[in-house]
Structure 1
């Protein structure tokens, strides 16, 4: 009796594991094809399977025959037409990225964002192109995003540089980033009213300080006059930063304190993990 119950338990456990594994694989496949042409393919296959089921249920033999032929030869057509997407999925599977955790993907995206910011800031600093980049943290910045031009674009070095090129429509104002994306450009930020700010600082640095006084964002300012790189956070201004220090600040902001290298010169809370 107990032996039979044990067999039944292991059978149910095996079925549960089987269902969970299939669900996990399907979920990962959906994440791979999301944003590609394959999404439309999945919709088309769903329609064909639905028509095939209905034709079988209602006894529509001619329609059922046509749907059967589509399913039979459609698999070969799918492999030929969507070869790039299938190759990308197999490459990700070979690199182990298909089954990586969501947290690992978020960290990878954050590192790409940091690298794009570093390269763009380096380029603009060398050529003395003024720039103002705010990275949202816990405090929402919707009020300031609405003052600019919506972009909702992936952060890239080329896009950031192009935004701040002089005499272009978006160069005057700040870029506001959220979740590794550029939410808006040409945004207006509040100017700091601190009377102890150095007179040599212009409007761009006053705006960087002003937004840091009312939110917990991190703001990068590149000076047109000197090419110096400054960062503001929690009302503090850090001037003439080198690339390594800027990288550590960005890692603290986007990855959190635990994943960034220690830096004794500054100590402020980064984005909370999870």
Structure 2
């Protein structure tokens, strides 16, 4: 083997090594995203910055404190991140750590879509106001913490019961995380866009607001008209019929399972006005 071939193989091995390390780091980030662990990671990052600054400017006392924190930090991280580490090990044991999805997850996602559609159809026919936000890639832990934690399995009956008027949880948003109802009565940020139609109420503004800061899907049922709307990426799809709503929701959530369907009819909030 020539020296040139040896260097090429070494370069290829180093490249694969780096890519594998980055992929493992990416998967670990996916495990902790949307949890309190994200805030703890930010705290660790701040500690590292303070350590570098104290060392650079010879702040001996502060530097000693940071060294002690880093010295015992490894043990503290294991204790603090115990739930996330356990979840990662469970996924690794099931062979899911390096896989994108499983048949079981696909079936759960399909059931989740059907439960949401069934509940939305029921509430729309009876003009029961509702606001349901579905977490996707961007974590919604901060908004979940503003509500009442439920951690319950998603079902159409539960969603309907939450939004029945004059019940303790009906005022606010329900946040769905993975295959669970994470919390109810959550506060979502209101959109401050000046282009929103004045006839739209607080629910629609909250749905648009959360879609502007996250990649979540948010469903709105109008209490006045029973109209169904869906927001994503700062766009509002209004007055959706139940079939169009099912198609749009399925397209967004089940795109990896089914061929892309024809785009459903949608109404932009700057366009058609109706309830």
1:243 to partner: Cα distance: 1.5
Once residues 183 and 260 of structure 1 are traced to their aligned partners in structure 2, the CA distance between those partners, rounded to angstroms, is 30
> In the TM superposition, what whole-angstrom CA distance separates every residue of 1:148-193 from its partner, at most 9, and x where no partner exists?
0001111101100000000000000000001121100000000000
CA distance in 2, matches of 1:211, 1:128: 23
* Runs (5+) with no aligned partner, structure 1: 1-101, 268-274
Structure 2's unaligned 5+ residue stretches are 1-100, 267-275
Displacement after TM superposition at 1:261 (Å): 4.4
Partner in structure 1 of residue 122 of structure 2: 123
State the match for 2:170 in structure 1.
171
Change (3 A) 1:245 1:262: same
Q: Does 1:161 align with 2:147?
A: no
Aligned equivalents of 1:257, 1:162: Cα separation in 2: 31
Residues 266 and 136 of structure 1: is their aligned pair in 2 closer, same or farther, counting only changes over 3 Å?
farther
* Shift in CA distance, 265/116, structure 1 to aligned 2, threshold 3 Å: closer
| Equivalence for 2:247 | 248
Deviation at 1:245, TM superposition (A): 1.8
Equivalent runs, 1:251-262 vs 2, <5 Å: 251-256=250-255, 259=258, 261-262=260-261
Task: Using the TM superposition, give the Cα deviation of residue 194 of structure 1 relative to its aligned residue in structure 2, in angstroms.
Answer: 0.5
Q: TM-score, normalised by structure 1?
A: 0.58
Q: Distance in 1 between matches of 2:107 and 2:263?
A: 26
Is 1:187 equivalent to 2:168 in the alignment?
Answer: no
Residue 213 of structure 1: aligned partner = 212
Cα deviations across residues 111-134 of structure 1 (Å, max 9, x unaligned)? 111111111101100110000000
TM-score, normalised with respect to structure 2: 0.58
* The 10-residue stretch of structure 1 (258-267 or 229-238) with the greater mean CA deviation from structure 2: 258-267
1:142 equivalent in structure 2: 141
Q: CA deviation at 1:254?
A: 2.4
Mapped partners of 1:253, 1:156: distance in 2: 19
